[in-house]
Chain A
Amino acid sequence: MLRSFKYIWLLGLIGTILVVAGVIALALSPLRGVAPDPWANVPPERTHVDHSDLMTEPFETGPEVTAACLSCHEDAAHEVSRTTHWTWQSEPVTVAWRDEPVSTGKANVINNFCIGIQSNEPDCTRCHAGYGWGAEEPFDFEDLSNVDCLVCHDQSGGYVKAEEGLPAEEVDLLAAAQSVGSPTRANCGGCHFNGGGGNGVKHGDLDSSLYFPSENLDVHMGGLDFQCIDCHQTQDHQIAGRSISVSLDDANQVYCTDCHETTLHSDERITSHVDTVACQTCHIPTVAVRDRTRILWDWSAAGDLARENVPGQYLQTRGEFMTTLDYQPDYTWYNGTAQRYLLGDTMDPATLTVLDPPLGDLDDPTALIFPFKIHYARQPYDAEYNILLQPTTAGEGGYWTTFDWNSALASGAEAAGIPYSGSYGFAETAMYWPLTHMVQPASNALTCADCHSDNGRMDWEALGYFGDPLVWGGREVGR
C-alpha cells in the first residue's frame, strides 16, 4: 500500500524536481535560441600517417615517387586520371546553346590572360598534376606513372614544378615524399593563387594572402583556419567545385548552403533577399583585399621595345596591364553556369566579346545576383575570319622571344586547329570571374545603403529592374 511505501519520499522528491525544472525551463524558454550547426558538414580533421619511415629509397625522378606511392595506394593514380586536374578537359556536357555536347577545359579553351595552352604546353603545364606534358611526343594520358602525387600532397614546402610539370632540379624528392599529407592551402594555392602567371592575377578572390589569412580577409580560412578541402570536399580524388572559366556545368559545385542555412538571418528583411541575392554578394564586399588583382590586359601594346618594363604595368612581352586593390565586384544574374567562347567561334571585333558570359536573368528563378570580377583585354583575332586567335607565346618560336605576332599566331593556330588568314587585329574581350572566396566576417557584410541608395552598387536597370526594388518592388519568380 502507498501509505507504507518506504520510498514514497523519493517519488515526492522526483515529482517536485520535475515540476520545478519544468517551470524553470518554461520560464526561460523565450531566452533560448536554437541555431543549426554549420560544423555538421565540415569533415573532421584527420591525422595523416607519417610517411618518413615508409619513404626511404632515394628518388631521382617524379615518376619514381609516384611508383612508390602506388605501391600502397594502388587506385590513386587511376582515380586522379579521371579528374580534370589530370585531363584538363571535361567529359562532354550537353548545353542549351550548342547543338552537340561540348567538352571544355584548360586544354582547349582560351582566356583573355595568356590566352591558351596549345603550343605553349611546356610552360603552362607547370601546373599540371602530371609529368612530361609538353615534351616532344604527345602526352600519354593513359600512362599513369606520370601522375604527380607530390604537387598536392607535399608538405615539405620545397616541392616546385618546372617546365612540362617536372620537378625543379633543386627539389629534394625524398624529403617531399616523406612529408606527404592531406592537401593544404599551400598545395592548392601554388597553382590556384597564381593563375594567369602571377599572384592574384586571375581570380581576385584567390591570392597568396590566403596562405596566412587574417579573419578580416577570409572568415573561413583566416578565422577558422579552413583548408581548401574542408569545403572542396574530395571523394576518390574528385575535388568538389568548379568555375565558369573552364567548366560548363555546375555539377559537384560547392555552395555556402552546404553548411549554412539560408534562414539564419534573424532579420526577415535580410532573409527576404536570399531568393534573389547570392550569399557572396553581401558577404564578399571586396576582393583583392591585400594583394592586387589584374583587371585589364592589353596585348596590342606588347612588343614596344622602346618602352620600359614596369612590372604590373607594362611588359614588352605581354603588353599593358592594369591592376587594382580592394576590387569592388560587378554584379549580374547568374544561375551557376555560363556560356563559353570556344575556339573557332566567330565574333564581332567591333564589340566586346565576353568569353564566359554568366547565364541567368531577372526572369530565371534559379538565377541570383552574384558578384564577379571582370577582366578586360584586347587580344589578337583573325581580321578576315573574325575568330579569336591563340598565339604561341612561350618557347623558342613564341612571341615572347620573337616579338612577331604573325608567326606566333600562325604557329598557335596550327596547334589549336583553327584557321589563320595571316591578318590579325586586336579585339576587346571580357571574362567573368565568380567571386566566392574572401568571405569576410558578417560585421563587414554589405548593408542596405550599399545597394539601395543613390550611389549604391547595383545598376538596377541593367539588372532588369525598373529601379531600386526597395521602391519599385522585386521579382516574383519562383515563389
Chain B
Amino acid sequence: MNRRYTSMQLNREDTKDAEIRNHFQHEGAERTTHASSLPPRWLFRRGEARLVRRIAISILTGGGVLSLMVGILLLGAGVTFAQTNPSFHPPIVLRDADGALVQESGAPASAMMTCGDCHDTAFISANSSHADGALRSVRQDAAPFAASSGGSVETNCFMCHIAQPDNAARLGALDAGQPEWASSATLRATGIVTDADGSWSWNAAAFAPDGTVDTALLAIGDPTDANCGQCHGTVHSDGQMPLVLTDGESGWETLLRGQVFSPQRISSSGLSLEDKSTLTRPWDVHAERLVGCTDCHYALNNPVFDTQPDRTGPDHLQFDPRRMDFGEYLHRPLHQFANSQGALNSDFGGAARSCSSCHESVAAHSWLPYAERHFSATTCETCHVPTLYAPALESVDWTVVHPDGSPRMTYRGTDDGATTGSPDGTTDGSSPTGLITGFTPVVLPRVGTDGATRLAPYNVISRWYWVAGDGTPVSEEVLRAGWLVDGAYAPEVLAAFDANGDGALSDAELLLDTPEMTAVIADRLSALGVADPRVMGDVQSYAIHHNVIGGEWAVRECTTCHADDSRMAAALPLGTGTLGGGELTLTASGLPLNGALEPDGDGGVSYRPLLVAAPPLTAPVDLYILGHNSVDWINWLGALMFLGVAFGAGGHGLLRILASRRQRVHQPHAVTEKVYMYSIYERAWHWMQTVMIFGLLFTGLVIHNPEAFSMFDFQGVVLVHNALALVLVINAAFALVYHLVSGEIRQFLPRPYGFFDQMVMQAKYYLQGIFRGDAHPFEKTPERKMNPLQQVTYLAILNVLLPLQILTGALMWGAQRLPEVTAQLGGLGFLAPFHTLIAWAFATFIVLHVYLTTTGHTPVANIKAMMMGWEDTEPKEITS
C-alpha cells in the first residue's frame, strides 16, 4: 500500500502524463509570453475555448507552488511547444530595394530583394498569374471599365506567404500614395514595422543581433486558404467562430458567385439564413475534408503534384524518376497555378485539376442509372453545387453611382435582394440585409479541359453602363463627375431623382426610371465631353466551381432535371434594374452564354438557358432530357392514332351488337369442335409478352411525363423499364427460335398466291359479313391460326415496329456505353421521340388486337383459347 503516487509516476510513461505536464507548461508559457509584447503564434492555434480556460486557470491558480513549479519546469526542461505545423523556413533578413538591411537603412522592404536572396524572384515575378495582385485591387464589381491601377509596384511575396498579412495596411499604403511601402505595410500585423500617420518605421526589437527576424514573428510558409481568401473570397477556417460576411470584405468569389470556402456547417454560421437549422452541410466539402486552395491550385512545377502527363517514352517505363527536385523547385517555383487561366497550363498538359483528377466519378455513382451519360452531359458541379448560400450579385447598375462612387447593386439569394446600400456613402453596399434564401445557379454549357462541352453551373449578372456614341464605356472618373460634385450629388441630379425630397437618394430612387432622368445624366455627360451618351447593358456569366457538397446533399432527385420544370432550363432573374432606354445584350466575355432574355412580367428580365445549340457557342449542345423534352407533333399524332382506333373499334363493336340483336334468328353454327389451338409454350410466351408490353407502356409513360406520376420514383421506373425491356427481348428471341425450330413460323408467313384477294375478303368480312353473322372467311386451325390481315399486321409489327422499338430503346440505353453510335443515329433528340411514336403505335395495336379477339366464334372464344389452349371452332365443312 501507500505507494508514492504522483502524476509524474503514474503507471506508465505515457501520453496522459505528457498532456498534464503540457497543460501546466502551457500555462507557464502563457504567463511568460503575456509579459512580453510579442506573443508566439502557436498560442492562437489552439481551440479558443480551451485557451480561455487555460488562461483562466493559470490566472486563478497562479501563485505559490504552481508558479514555482512552472518556473522550474521551464528552466529545467526547456519548453517544447507542441507546434502542429512548424515553419521550416529559416529566419530571413529584410532588405530594401538596394539590398541593404531595412533596420539600418530605414527604407521600405523589397520582397524582390528580400526573397531574392534564395529564390529567383525575377523568374517568379515573370511567371506569376498574380502580378496584378500587388496593385490596388482587382475589380470586384463586374465593372465595364478596367481596374484603375494603383501605380506600379513589385510582386508582394508577403501577402501569400506569411501567416498574418495585413492587407488593410497594404491597401492603406497604396491609397496614401506610398506604393513603395506596400510590401512592408503587409508586415504591419507582425509588429516588425509600425505606422504613425503614414510615417513607417522598423521596430528595432524585432530584429535579432544577426539582423534576422525571428520566425515566431514572421512565419513564412505555403499559402494558406486564408492567404488566398484575402482577395479571392470569403475563407473561414475557424471551426468555432460563426462565419459572418463582413461588408466590403467578402471578396469577389463570394460577391460574383456566392462562393464561400469554409469547413463550417452552414447551420453554425452567423448568417441570417432561411431554414438554417436544417443546413447541417458544410459550406464546402473540400474545406471540410481539409483539401485547401493550393491542393488543387498548385504551382505547376511543384514536384509533389507532378502527374507525369503523356510524355514520350517507352511503354515499359511506368515511372520517370528524373524530375525536378525540391531545391530546384524552391529556387524557381512557377507562380502559374493549376486551373488558372495561365498560359503555361497547356505546357503542363493535364496538369490542371478537375474533379476527375481525384475522383473516379463512375465508381462513385453506382446508384445512378446512365452514369456515363450523365457525366458526358453535365459537369460534377451541376449536381454537387446545388445551391449557394451566400448572396451573389444579380445586377450591377453603373448608370448610377452612390456618393462614394460605387454602383447600385442587387443580389440574388436573399428575400429582398436589397443591399445595405450606401446612400450616405459609408458602406460599399456589398452585403445584403435581407434573409438569405440561397440561390440555384443557372446551367450553361462549358467547354472543359478535355475539350468536351458539358453543362455547368453559373451565376449570371446583368450590368448597365453608359457608353459614348461609338460604344466605348464612359470612364469611371467621367461618370462620377456626371453625378457628383465634391462627393455629393449635383443639385440638378438631386432635383431629378429625389422623389421624397429628403436631400438624399435611396436605392429605390437611384434608378433611371424615366427618359427625363436619363436625359439629365446624358446632358451632364455630354457637357463633360462624352459624345452622344446612351445606356448599354450586357449579361456576364461567372462559372461556379466551389461550395461543392458530397452526395448526401447533392442533387439526387431525378425529377430535378427530368421534369417539365427542369433545372436545366430554369430561368435566373437578372434584376429589375433600369432599362434607361438602353438595351440588354448577351455577351460571353470568353465564357459561353447560351440562352435567351425574357421579361419576367415584373418589370425585370430573366435569363433562360437554351438546351440547343446557339451562337456564340461553337460546340453544339443538343440535349434531349427524358421527362422534360418532348416533341409535340409526335404526342398529338400518337394520341390521334390511339384514340382513332379506340373509337373505331368501339363503333365497330357497337354496330356488331346492334346487328346481332337484329338478326337473332340467324344462329351461329350450332356445331362446334374443340380444337387444341395454342400450345402451352405459345400461351406462356404470349402472356409474358403481354405483361411486359403493358409494363413497358406504363413505365414509358411515367418516364415521358413524370409530373403526372409523381408517386412513382423516377429512377426506379427507369430501372424497371430497362429490365422489362430486357425480358421482352429475351422472350421474343426465345419465341423466334421456337417458331423457327418448330416450323410454326409458317403461321406468320402469308401465302403469296391470292394473298391480296384474301386480304380483301377478310376486310370485307369485318366490314360487312360480321354484321350479318357470316362465317369467318378463313377457318382457324392449329395449323393456320391467322387470317391474311393478321398475317400482314404481325409481319409489320414483328419485322418493323418491334425491331425499331428495340433498336431505338437499345440505342437510348446505349447513349451511355456507345455514345458515338447513338450520336451517329441522331442522338437522343431523334431516338427518344421516335421511341415514343412507336410506343403509341404499340398501344394502338393493342387496342385493335384486343378488340379483334372478340370476333371469334363467341366474343371470348379467342381469349379463352389463348388462356386454356382449347378453342371452339366452326366445323370444317362450312368453310369455303
User: Which A residues have a C-beta under 8 Å from some C-beta of B?
Assistant: 2-4, 6, 8-9, 12-13, 15-16, 19-20, 23-24, 26-28, 30-31, 96-97, 295-296, 298, 320, 322, 324, 326-328, 330, 332-333, 339, 341, 344-354, 357-359, 361-362, 376, 378, 386-387, 425, 427-428, 430, 443-444, 447-450, 452-457, 459-464, 467-468, 470
Contacts and interface: CB of A to CB of B under 8 A. Distances in A.
Nearest to B695: A20
Interface stretch (B18-26, B427-435, B656-664): B18-26
B350 interface: no
Given A20-B695, A378-B61, 13 more contacts: A16-B688, A20-B691, A31-B719, A345-B2, A346-B5, A347-B6, A444-B265, A448-B263, A448-B290, A453-B290, A454-B85, A462-B19, A462-B82
B238 A455 contact: yes
Contacts of A452: 290
B868 A8 contact: yes
B618 interface: no
27 contacts: A3-B680, A13-B687, A20-B695, A20-B724, A23-B727, A24-B720, A28-B719, A295-B57, A322-B60, A339-B10, A345-B3, A345-B5, A348-B5, A354-B7, A354-B16, A361-B16, A430-B20, A444-B265, A448-B290, A449-B288, A455-B44, A455-B239, A456-B239, A457-B47, A462-B18, A464-B15, A467-B84
A30 B19 contact: no
B727 A348 contact: no
Interface string B711-739: 00101100110111011000000000000
Contacts of B84: 454, 456, 460, 467-468
B311 interface: no
B10 A357 contact: yes
A470 B290 contact: yes
B15 A333 contact: yes
Given A23-B727, A346-B2, A352-B24, A453 B237 contact: yes
Contacts of A3: 676, 680, 869-870
Interface in B42-92: 44-47, 49-50, 53, 56-57, 60-61, 65-66, 69, 82, 84-85
Given A16-B691, A328-B47, A348 B15 contact: no
Contacts of B60: 296, 298, 320, 322
Contact of B49 (A326, A357, A448): A326
Contacts of B720: 23-24, 27-28
Interface string B682-693: 011001100110
Interface in B815-874: 867-870
Contacts of B50: 328, 330
Contact of A352 (B7, B82, B680): B7
Given A328-B49, A347-B5, A459-B82, A464 B10 contact: no
A349 B66 CA distance: 10
Contacts of B126: none
A434 to B, nearest CB: 14
Contacts of A322: 56-57, 60
A339 B754 CA distance: 105
A322 B52 CA distance: 12
Given A28-B720, A354-B7, A354-B20, A362 B15 contact: yes
A470 B295 CA distance: 15
Nearest to A376: B57
B322 interface: no
Nearest to B716: A28
Contacts of A427: 65
A283 B719 CA distance: 37
Nearest to B264: A449
B290 A348 contact: no
A332 B19 contact: yes
Interface residues of B, number: 75
B46 A97 contact: no
B356 interface: no
B53 A324 contact: yes
A462 B684 CA distance: 73
B289 interface: yes
A454 to B, nearest CB: 5
A453 B869 contact: no
B316 interface: no
B36 interface: no
Given A23-B724, A328-B49, A444-B280, A348 B8 contact: yes
B671 interface: no
Interface in B232-259: 237-239
Given A15-B684, A322-B60, A449 B239 contact: yes
A453 B46 CA distance: 10
A20 B867 CA distance: 18
Contacts of B680: 2-3, 8
B868 A9 contact: yes
Interface of B: 1-12, 14-16, 18-20, 22-24, 44-47, 49-50, 53, 56-57, 60-61, 65-66, 69, 82, 84-85, 237-239, 263, 265, 267, 280, 282, 287-290, 366-367, 676, 680, 683-684, 687-688, 691-692, 695, 713, 715-716, 719-720, 722-724, 726-727, 867-870
B289 A448 contact: yes
Given A31-B719, A463-B15, A464-B14, A346 B237 contact: no
Given A24-B720, A454-B84, A12 B687 contact: yes
Contacts of A27: 716, 719-720, 722-723
Contacts of B2: 344-346, 387
A334 to B, nearest CB: 9
Nearest to B24: A352
A324 to B, nearest CB: 7
B16 A333 contact: yes
B20 A349 contact: no
A31 B367 contact: yes
A260 B452 CA distance: 46
B719 A449 contact: no
A300 B332 CA distance: 62
Contacts of A453: 237, 239, 263, 290
Contact of B16 (A8, A326, A328, A358): A358
A105 B676 CA distance: 90
B683 to A, nearest CB: 6
Given A351-B7, A357-B16, A447-B263, A295 B722 contact: no
Given A361-B12, A448-B289, A450-B239, A12 B7 contact: no
Contact of B7 (A353, A460, A470): A353
Nearest to B719: A27
Contact of A462 (B22, B367, B723, B868): B22
A428 B4 contact: no
Nearest to B727: A23
A459 B83 CA distance: 9
Contacts of B85: 454
A350 B69 contact: yes
Nearest to B713: A31
A345 to B, nearest CB: 4
Contacts of A459: 19, 22, 82
B286 to A, nearest CB: 10
A96 B729 CA distance: 72
Given A346-B5, A354-B20, A296 B57 contact: yes
Of A376, A425, A460, A461, chain B has the most CB atoms within 10 Å of the CB of A461
A291 B779 CA distance: 93
Given A2-B680, A346-B4, A339 B11 contact: yes
A185 to B, nearest CB: 25
B35 to A, nearest CB: 22
A354 B867 CA distance: 85
B15 A462 contact: yes
A15 B691 CA distance: 12
Given A3-B869, A333-B16, A353-B5, A31 B715 contact: yes
Given A346-B3, A359-B11, A16 B687 contact: yes
A12 B684 contact: yes
